[in-house]
A and B are shown apart, each in its own frame.
Chain A
């Protein structure tokens, strides 16, 4: 018999009070400010913005602090916040060719217009723990040099020979989709897949990207270019009849270039995968571009033989807010479900034991009567 139960209110209230205490930690230490999180844990903030699919550094920092540094919890909080706001409109597409570049590297060309700009990278560090960060030593000002020429897009250089496919075009008459407005449907067009990948979990996309490199849907990739920097966001104002700038956001873009042997429909060439992510996050942008290319099986008549090529598998499981919701709901009370299953297993066990001892199961006997 099911008896409705109620209770736990006081326990929940006290648990949240305890959470607030543990979040604050030792009161003898100064409390961290949102500005400090934005400035000194900037890449955590960027990851939360990217996967919450909401660009706002201060709110993302607040979420990180509120979640005690639990990234997926922070992403969840920021996602929930965005549902409380009205949508003003859609921006003009950002122009990454005119990015104020803070880092740009290419693995395909050594000498290229704009050069290899390393920017603030972890690459080439020795990954040794740095004790100077314990004692809070004074940090040197960065070096400065006269800026060089415009940082040209690598895809524009390759394009000259006609050996590389162009920037992606959707089929004629395609209406751009928006995941936040329509339910997911498969097969899913590339524009929607990119939206899903841009907000997808970094760890999940990294693992899938890695799987393609290890042979599960190989794509023969080269990093044509990675660039990080600020781009302008423009919004069309109908009341004025023109688009105005709302300010700038930092994004990371990855152009993956993939060798392609050709198919019945297409000559041998370089194909491409694209990654674009809020904030500074080149691991995510690279993973996104590898997975984007792997998912384009229908365009290149490739067989779907690996998980990274299966769009329903990839897109349905890339969102960590959905994933954590479904996994974590298992810890909520399932007392009644479990009671029912317990009864069932007890019955099956009785049958099993009866069968093994050669007796006719009781139920069957009863049914026969």
Chain B
């Protein structure tokens, strides 16, 4: 089996690479590439994302044919894909960071700034917070409710259909921190930085 981490030249993905390689050991091949054919032929895809919604969407669009390839992979062929942080946010129809930007539109909804309640909550939401698992998700196998995960973000994904939400976290309000829609998974938190418990989520995805 091979898992491809999409390298679309946006932000720092070395931690994602290190964590997947740590979990995969020798049984699974981890590719890091933006090569469309390699993405097409891989079994699973990881879509990381750091920086702003706009910078990530722009970077995706800069690589000719990449969004079409990802669409084909996740929507047409329904192969497993996980988005991390802004990678998850890009599933939305639209994001409002910097300026209004069209997302991939895979899960209907928007990405807007966390309400800091007039400065009561510091942004970015940085650090370890507990997740409330609200739906059985395949990537949460053997993950206990209220587990701690590492977050770094100022924007939140607000999906229209609440049934896709698999976990929330409490910061200012109930922020959506994990989604599952058929073959598409996403985490707002960083499993690659969430210690052993985060690596377990990566392991669950690899073993889907």
Q: Do A and B assemble together?
A: no
Tell me the B residues contacting A by CB distance below 8 Å.
none
